[in-house]
Amino acid sequence: MATAVWEQPRRRNIFARPTATTGWYSWVTTVDHKKIGILYGVTAFVFFLLGGLEALALRTQLATPDADVLSADLYNQFFTMHGITMIFLVVMPMGVAFFNYFVPLMIGARDVAFPRLNALSYWIFLFGGIFIYSSFLLGGAPDGGWFGYAPLSTKLPTDGMDFYAVGLQFLGIASLAGAVNFIVTILNMRAPGMTLMRMPVFIWMALVVSFLLLFAMPVIAVALFELMFDRLFGTNFFQVAAGGDPVLWQHLFWLFGHPEVYILILPAMGIVSEVLPTFSRKPLFGYAAVVFAGAAIGFMGWGVWAHHMFAVGLGPVANAAFALSTMFIAVPTGVKIFNWIGTMWGGSLRFNTSMLFSVGFVAMFIIGGLSGVSHSIVPHDAQQTDTYYVVAHFHYVLFGGALFGIMSGLYYWWPKIFGHRLGEGLGKLNFWLWFIGFNLTFGPMHIVGLQGMPRRIYTYPDGMGWNLWNLMETVGAFVIAVSTLVFLVNVAVSRRKGRYEAGADPWDARTLEWSIPSPPPEYNFAEIPVITHRDDFWHKKYFVGPGKTAEPVFSGGAAEAEHEAEHHIHMPSPSYFPVIAAFGLLVAAYAVIFGLPAVAIGLLITTLGFFGWVFEPGAAE
């Protein structure tokens, strides 16, 4: 390892950088994008389990009419927290986990542009999640819905919505810092020869998502500040009596909220666009179209927000305009589906677990896409809005889409991250239970929605024709829970030494990350590769023969041998200061709710953290 160069005698200096590379301390001070990626992934998975438990509680309450499992109060907290958790603490950070680990590896870089800023993002995310969850112990969790519509959200009596307003701000800082970091990394640190149109689609999606975050997070920041001020300082943004306007919240929220949907789904689309070519043994069909469709979605995503507000009464002209934009954003999405099927067409398909999840993604996303188009039929949207039909729709997009993609990515990249594969037998059981459980849970929601069951109700009377479907949904939710357990067992079992040992390139894959050892060394690339093709690593292994089939290149090509150069590679040293700065913000966040003057203490800690950050030496010396 490259540690040799770090272990020079240290001066006693409060700015001296920490040097540990193993043990828990190394995780706290790490600035290595790979370790941070793992931290993001593990943390997001823990939150996934929490959000899943909330979902099980909700489904148990709704399994039968007039049930008494959860009180109305607890139900409202749980459905709010389920949404916040799955969106902000699971799907978003899972995408960031993959970005962190694989953006540098796939563009041929040794780290991200700002490693310490990257560490800061993670700690803010972790503390933000803990902050929001601590509300359960401090008088009640947020209970105004993840959408927090004013003026209700300004009037709810517990501190829950304060935790919501402050906590989401907090997480927003992490997203913003991450977005800046990834954009600069992707634009500035690509290996020589990796032009934009040679970048893997996953990198393109990371770029689009980062730009969406960059522009969307500040919009919700404005909304959240206004909510926080209305609640804590008696301002009048949403108070009609004093000249405020409750609809302002909805405009700001959905101007963020719809790009947010694409922030959630595009990383999964990027993953699927890497997995399908690998297991079809074919290049991606219509690379340019997939990239362009992703970018088009990124742009058009800004022009559809009011389709969440068809029932607000914006008037027929606005409703018609947003109906049209909503319809036509389906076109680039459809293009992607065709291209994925085109990628598999003519291939030689290997159905590993990772491939199954990607195929599942395509199959399920079609349903979510079609039901999405039906929302743009405004007169009928007035019927289906706020019913379970909508719940079904966005779970087909965010579970059938984003989560299937994330699972696919986990199975695909697991060997690269940990040096061993996940078991295929348990993996397939995992997939099929997941697939069946998913459809059993969310399929019937379409029907029960059309039968007029509204969302966000903690109970419903008998005799509405909803009983059977609700019971089925609850059974399905538990099947998903079992599937998740199977995944955890698979993770534990696969860890056994030597069982599923994987080399550098277990899938015979196409992109740069597979050209280096598994797990990758601290410095990633002993020698920065020079890129000559899209899917450059594949082109080092194969060439296209006369019959349009792949012929192996016999001279070398496989995983690069270790180079002597490694002893001369300096990597950024670990740092204490990101975690200190993030901790200061956590103190400030609690202070906003429980004792305003203490905000100064938190900001002082953060400022000291940044001070140390700026003045610490560039490497351990």
Partner 1 sequence: MGAGEVPGEGGRAARAGGGVTGAREVRAQGAEISAPALGMILFIASEVMFFAGLFGAYFTIRGGATGWPPAGTAELEIWIPAAATVLLMVSSVTMHAAAEAAGHGRDAATARWLLITIALGALFLGGQAFEYSQLDFTVSDHSYGTLFYSMTGFHALHVFAGLVMLGLVWIKTSRGHLSHGRSGPVVAAGLYWHFVDVVWILLFATLYLLR
Partner 2 sequence: MELFRGLKARGRRFLLGVLAASFALFGSACETNVGPQDFLTPEGPVARRADGLWDVTFAIAVVIFVVVEAVLVFTLVKFRRRPGREAAQFHGNTKLEVILTLIPTLILAGLAVPTVKAIADLSKKSEGALDVTVTAKQFWWEYKYPDAGVVTANEMHVPTRTPIFLSLESTDVIHSFWIPDLTGTQDVIPGRTNNMQFIADEPGTYWGQCKEYCGLSHANMRLRVIAHEPAEFERWLQDQSQPAANATSGAAAEGQQIFLQTCVNCHAVQGTEAKGTIGPDLTHFASRETFAGATFANTTENLRKWVDHPAAIKPGAPMPDYGLSAQEIDAVVAYLQTLE
Q: Give the footprint of partner 2 on residues 395-454 (CB under 8 A).
A: 425, 428-429, 432, 436, 439, 443, 447, 450-454
**Count of residues near partner 2 by CB under 8 A:** 104
Residue 553 found at the interface with partner 2 (CB under 8 A):
no
Considering the complex, state which of residue 195 and residue 383 has its C-beta at the smaller distance from partner 1: 195
Tell which positions 248-307 bind partner 2, by CB under 8 A.
280-289
**Six-digit token string for 108:** 């041929």
Considering the complex, state which of residue 221 and residue 436 has its C-beta at the smaller distance from partner 1: 221
Residue 459 found at the interface with partner 2 (CB under 8 A):
yes
Considering the complex, state which of residue 111 and residue 381 has its C-beta at the smaller distance from partner 1: 111
Give CA–CA dist 85/87, Å, rounded: 6
Give CA–CA dist 486/433, Å, rounded: 9
In this chain, which of 3, 8, 188, 383 binds partner 2, going by CB under 8 A? 383
Nearest by Cα to 110 from 512, 384, 422, 405 = 512
CB of 460 to partner 2, least distance (A): 7
Burial of 69 (0-12, 13-18, 19+ CB in 10 A): middle
Tell which positions 343-372 bind partner 2, by CB under 8 A.
344-351, 359, 362-363, 366-367, 370-371
Nearest by Cα to 164 from 250, 231, 234, 103 = 231
In the block, tokens 């209970």 appear at 143
157 Cβ contact list (under 8 Å, min separation 6): none
Considering the complex, state which of residue 406 and residue 605 has its C-beta at the smaller distance from partner 1: 605
Considering the complex, state which of residue 66 and residue 564 has its C-beta at the smaller distance from partner 1: 564
Tell which positions 569-608 bind partner 1, by CB under 8 A.
569-572, 607
Residue 455 found at the interface with partner 2 (CB under 8 A):
yes
CB of 222 to partner 2, least distance (A): 20
CB of 223 to partner 1, least distance (A): 7
Residue 110: contacted member of partner 1, partner 2, none (CB under 5 to 8 Å, by partner type): partner 1
Considering the complex, state which of residue 220 and residue 329 has its C-beta at the smaller distance from partner 2: 329
Phi, psi of 580 (to 5 degrees): -70, -45
Residue 471: contacted member of partner 2, partner 1, none (CB under 5 to 8 Å, by partner type): none
Considering the complex, state which of residue 468 and residue 530 has its C-beta at the smaller distance from partner 1: 530
Sign of CA dihedral 194, 195, 197, 199: positive
Residue 339: contacted member of partner 2, partner 1, none (CB under 5 to 8 Å, by partner type): partner 2
CB of 364 to partner 2, least distance (A): 10
Contact 387, 362 (CB under 8 A): no
Residue 568 found at the interface with partner 1 (CB under 8 A):
yes
From its phi and psi, is residue 71 left (phi > 0), alpha (psi between -120 and 50) or beta?
Answer: beta
From its phi and psi, is residue 194 left (phi > 0), alpha (psi between -120 and 50) or beta?
Answer: beta
In this chain, which of 548, 561, 564, 618 binds partner 2, going by CB under 8 A? 548
Tell which positions 507-566 bind partner 1, by CB under 8 A.
523, 525-528, 530-531, 563-565
Helix (H) or strand (E) holding 441, with range, is helix 424-450
Tell which positions 209-228 bind partner 1, by CB under 8 A.
214-219, 221-223, 225-226
Tell which positions 231-290 bind partner 1, by CB under 8 A.
233-237, 239, 242-245, 247-248, 251-252, 255
Per-residue mark of binding to partner 1, 148-187 (x: CB under 8 A): ----------------------------x--xxx-xxx-x
Contact 435, 400 (CB under 8 A): no
Contact 254, 207 (CB under 8 A): no
Residue 189: contacted member of partner 1, partner 2, none (CB under 5 to 8 Å, by partner type): partner 1
Sign of CA dihedral 581, 586, 592, 598: negative
Considering the complex, state which of residue 26 and residue 455 has its C-beta at the smaller distance from partner 2: 455
Residue 349: contacted member of partner 1, partner 2, none (CB under 5 to 8 Å, by partner type): partner 2
CB of 229 to partner 1, least distance (A): 6
**Six-digit token string for 322:** 């947003």
CB of 516 to partner 1, least distance (A): 13
Nearest by Cα to 191 from 114, 268, 105 = 105
- DSSP character string of 235-267: --SS-GGGT--HHHHHHHHHHHHHHHHHHHHHH
Contact 273, 201 (CB under 8 A): yes
From residue 338, give the alpha-carbon distance in Å to each of 197, 287, 356. Answer: 20, 12, 18
Residue 509 found at the interface with partner 2 (CB under 8 A):
no
Nearest by Cα to 126 from 87, 88, 71 = 88
Tell which positions 130-159 bind partner 2, by CB under 8 A.
144-145, 149, 151-152, 155-156
Q: How far is CA 443 from the centre of its chain?
A: 24
Tell which positions 159-188 bind partner 2, by CB under 8 A.
none
